[in-house]
Amino acid sequence: MSLVFEEIRLNLPHIEVAAHLYGPEQGRPVIALHGWLDNAASFSRLAPLLEGVRIVALDLPGHGHSAHRPAGAAYNIWDYAHDVLQVAEQLGWQRFTLLGHSMGAIVSVLLAGAMPERVERLALIDGVIPYTGEADTAPQKLGESLRALLEVDERRKPVYTSFDEAVSARMKGVGAVSREAAERLAQRGLMPVPGGLTWRTDARLMLPSPMRLTRAHALAFVDRVECPVSLVLAEQGLMTEPPIRGLVDRFPFERHRLPGGHHLHLDDEQGAQAVASVFNAFLDR
């Protein structure tokens, strides 16, 4: 992998985060947010292809080289919006663009809906709103989460005897990826432990959510987005089911359906080039 980025660390008021920094210092400010269980390497193909932008590709807390949340703290998806806002504050960016993939795209929409005065544009890849839940399922979901919290143990994370074994496992994970994509994520995401290698990710990230937004809640954030939005949808991605497609088609966003899987921006150079072509035209307007 070509080293075209600078590695940085940001000491936020509540946590330390790591990031990859791409592009000219005077470029348009962009904060890039990866998907669940991924890391900043998710943008290692795409970011160098984007023109005239200064990209801070974060390891979100609990992922990659960023710190884990303290004991007793949770990984609610809306908490990431606070992390991103604190990054922007530290960088002195009052207005910025958000580039988000999957969970990162969802966080981007939440922040843009909650604080539209801060977000200039949204460039989203195969994600818009979180999985939702209605009121009648809330007690059951909270109970499942509380029981899982009692049992969580970092020592139960899988240990791989080799880098190749870890890569093969990641290729088959949620949002399956190509071998090269898995290698890029693994190079940043693995750490040595007795017996081999394991993921740096916080084990609590695998716990069930204690509470989910209702669909009405989620759509209210979409309705509150005021900035231009460009949404790339992968033809073999995670948003292909008819009910989801029908919902997405009602969003007032610019939409582009491109061939490839959920990680089309990372799986191969062709996919990265296709996504870059869409976003370069969008960001240059």
pLDDT digits (tens, 9 = 90+) for 182-212: 999 999 999 999 999 999 999 999 999 999 9
Q: Are 225 and 122 in contact (CB under 8 A)?
A: yes
Q: Confirm whether 195 is domain-assigned.
A: no
CATH of the domain at 15: 3.40.50.1820
pLDDT single digits (tens) 209-221: 999 999 999 999 9
What tokens were used for 183?
Answer: 């290698």
Q: Judge whether 177 lies within some domain.
A: no
Neighbours of 30 (CB within 10 A): 26
User: What is the arithmetic mean of pLDDT over 86-113?
Assistant: 98
With respect to residue 98, please indicate whether it lies within any of the assigned structural domains.
yes
Q: Which helix H or strand E contains 268, and what residues bound it?
A: none
Report, as an integer, the average pLDDT of 148-175.
Answer: 89
- State yes or no: pLDDT of 169 exceeds 60: yes
Count, residues in the chain = 285
Q: Is the pLDDT of residue 1 over 70?
A: no
Residue 273 lies in a domain: yes
List Cβ neighbours of 269 (8 Å cut-off, separation of 6 or more). Answer: 45
Q: Could you tell me the residue range of the domain that residue 120 belongs to? A: 6-134+214-283
Q: Given this model, what pLDDT does residue 72 score?
A: 86
CA angle 31, 34, 36 (to 5 degrees): 145
CB atoms near residue 241 (< 10 Å)? 9
- Report which of 138, 141, 129, 139 is spatially closest to residue 231, judged by C-alpha positions: 129
Number of folded domains that form the chain: 1
Catalytically active residues, by annotation: 102
pLDDT at 155: 65
* pTM of the entire predicted model: 0.96
- Asked if residue 178 belongs to a domain, the reply is no
pLDDT at 154: 67
Closest CA to 250 of 130, 128, 135, 131: 128
Q: What is the pLDDT of residues 35-89, one digit of tens each?
A: 999 999 999 999 999 999 999 999 999 999 999 999 888 899 999 999 999 999 9
- Does residue 147 form part of some domain? no
33 within domain boundaries = yes
Please report whether residue 256 resides in a domain: yes
Band of pLDDT at residue 175, cut at 50, 70 and 90: confident
